[in-house]
Amino acid sequence: MIFLIIIVIMMFLDAYTFKGIKILLKRTSSPGIKRAIYITFWSVTAFMLLLVMGGYFLRSSTRNAAVFTWYYYLFGVFLVLYIPKILFVIFHLTEDIIAGITWIIKKLYISKPVVEGAVPITRTIFLSRIGIILAALPFFGFIWGMVKGRFNFRIETQKLTFPNLPKSFDGLKIVQISDIHIGGFKGFQTRVEEAIDMVNAQQPDIIFFTGDLVNNFSEELDGWIPILSRMQAKIGKYSILGNHDYGNYYHWNSETEKAENFRKIIEAHSKIGFQLLNNQSVILSKNDEQLAIIGVENWGHPPFPQYADFKKASVNTENIPFKILLSHDPDHWDAKIQGKTDVDLTLAGHTHGMQFGFRFAGKEIWSPAQYKYKRWAGLYQEGKQSLYVNRGFGYIGYPGRVGMPPEITVLELSNKT
């Protein structure tokens, strides 16, 4: 039913966009130009419709990671073509509504005087031109996001003060990465290597990876282990699982096949040098002072399972003066951590900042992520507890980023106020 609704919406947008194009070309004197534009428009539309239908009917026919990568490119092309059409259509709907109201109340349209020799521009043509200009913005924006934006890695630095941080860990430098979704980087090894060089250039004491190593399949990691294992930290590297790591977004032939895929993904964490914390904790000691790192499995929203077990993960950390929690989904912080535990700092990911947004003076001022997640990017503090939400290293669905660059987070901890 959802698929059919999407097809109907596509056809409506195509028909209404074509109506607007005909209006824009009304004064074009060359029939050949008109014919070429019309043929091009409907050829692209028909091709896109066939791709969407083919993708739908073949979506569960293979577990080839490359096929799913092409699905993401298909989705990217869909956004490039249809988001501008939505904006373009809005102007024509506006004109039709105005015309309808005008007709209902029988209000006369009085034209302004026209300079002799000039050709008047009607309101319909004016709105069509404005619509095509505004539609061009997302068209080129989404293309830029696919070509450049997804590789525009950015360092985000935060200095955090915690009075109860043990003196021996004063100045601790943490690098956090999240949501690698490595299958999306097939063919772009050099770009990932450049990002890893950025990580190592920070000379971190600890590297935390907060989940979603893959999109779906363990095969996505083929050839990537040597590259990802280049990340270096003085003290250690720790990781957790994300919602995509469990294989719950694919229809498996059997539970055995799914379990084997999951086992290989878990093994990959150790192969790239990360200690995976599945509802587990580690205690770091320095000069007889201690700090706890707690990692929980994914805390999903229904219908997906909630694997996170903070009580189990935090066993034997009760008397540790400072605690850092790794939890993939930031909603877990509000539901189970903030005000309910003594965790000082929680690191999460998951949202990607929806891979789209607008920034001003170094801060996001808008993203569609804010309508789905209460905490979706950057630092949040409530009382003595802090949450940092990483905007993600990779991408899912739309193979690009617009105004929401992939992030490498650098956190510097201090006990000095």
| Distance in angstroms (rounded) separating the CA atoms of residues 186 and 189 | 7
**Distance of alpha carbon 340 from alpha carbon 310, whole angstroms:** 11
First-to-last C-alpha distance (Å) of the chain: 57
The C-alpha atoms of residue 179 and residue 396 are separated, in whole angstroms, by 9
pLDDT of residue 326: 98
Q: 10-residue block means of pLDDT along the chain (417 residues)?
A: 86 90 82 92 91 73 75 90 90 73 60 50 67 86 96 97 97 98 95 98 98 96 97 98 94 94 98 98 97 96 88 96 98 97 98 94 88 96 97 96 97 91
Decide: 310 and 329 in contact? Cβ < 8 Å.
no
pLDDT score of 122 = 63
Pair of tokens at residue 236? 């250690």
C-alpha torsion sign, points 241, 244, 249, 255? negative
Q: Decide if 353 contacts 343 (C-beta within 8 A).
A: no
Reading the block at residue 198, the tokens are 């950025």
- Backbone angles phi and psi of 145, in degrees to 5: -60, -35
Mapping DSSP onto H, E and C, the string for 151-165 reads: HCCEEEEEEEECCCC
pLDDT in tens, 194-242: 999 999 999 999 999 999 999 999 999 999 999 999 999 999 999 999 9
d(CA 10, CA 17): 10
Residue partners of 252: CB distance under 8 A and separation at least 6: 258, 261
With CA atoms as reference, report the closest residue to 213 among 240, 250, 249.
Answer: 240
Per-residue model confidence (pLDDT) at position 134: 82
Residues, the chain, total? 417
CA distances to 217, 255, 275 from 246, in Å:
9, 12, 17
What is the pLDDT, as a whole number, of residue 383? 95
How many of the other CB atoms lie within 10 Å of CB of 28?
11
Q: Provide the pLDDT for residue 61.
A: 58
Question: Dihedral of the CA atoms 120, 124, 126, 128 (nearest 10)?
Answer: -140
Q: pTM score, two decimals? A: 0.89
- The answer, yes or no, to whether the previous bond of 138 is cis (omega within 30 of 0) is no
Nearest by Cα to 347 from 320, 380, 321: 380
Task: Measure the CA–CA gap between 383 and 26, rounded to whole angstroms.
Answer: 63
Domains of the chain: 2-147 (no CATH), 155-414 (3.60.21.10)
- Nearest to residue 297, comparing CAs of 262, 250, 256, 340? 262
pLDDT, tens only, 372-397 = 999 999 999 999 999 999 999 999 99
pLDDT at 53: 83
pLDDT at position 77, please? 92
Say if residue 86 is exposed, middle or buried (CB neighbours under 10 Å; 0-12, 13-18, 19+): middle
Within 10 angstroms of residue 148's Cβ, the number of other Cβ atoms is 13
Q: Which residue, among 54, 68, 356, has the nearest Cα to 184 in the 3D structure?
A: 68
In three-state secondary structure terms, 83 is: helix
Q: Any residues with CB less than 8 A from the CB of 279 and at least 6 apart, and which?
A: 295, 296, 297, 307, 308, 309, 310, 312, 313
- Spatial distance between the Cα atoms of 161 and 163, rounded to a whole number of angstroms: 7
Judge contact between 331 and 313, C-beta under 8 A.
Answer: no
Written as six digits, the tokens of 237 are 């590297």
